[in-house]
Amino acid sequence: MNLCSCTIVLKNNHTMTFDNVEQTLGIIDEHGVNNIDNITIATSDGKNTLSYNNLSIEESIESLMSL
């Protein structure tokens, strides 16, 4: 699976979208888990695109690290 995009919504409703795992993890680290409201991850296997938006912040981080 490859990352297509990752959208992070902060508690102050600021939204950021990235297409790079390292950038995304850096932003999560910079803002801290407590300041993040939601993370939506879109991945692709070359044929299909899957979206994950009901994961906990911790599960989202684990998913990103496995890409």
Q: Which residue has the tokens 């890409």?
A: 67
Bridging pattern class, strands 36-44 and 15-18: unpaired
Q: How far apart are CA 51 and CA 42, in angstroms?
A: 4
Q: How far apart are CA 5 and CA 44, in angstroms?
A: 10
Residue 17: pLDDT band with limits 50, 70, 90: very high
Percent of the chain scored above 70 by pLDDT?
100
Kindly state the average pLDDT of the residues 61-66: 95
* Residue 14, helix vs strand vs coil: coil
Q: Is 0.85 topped by the overall pTM? A: yes
The alpha carbon of residue 64 and the mean position of all alpha carbons in its chain are separated, in whole angstroms, by 7
Residue 15: pLDDT band with limits 50, 70, 90: very high
Taking the domains of the chain in order of start, what are their residue ranges?
Answer: 2-62
Maximum Cα interatomic distance, the chain, rounded to a whole number of Å: 35
Kindly state the average pLDDT of the residues 11-31: 96
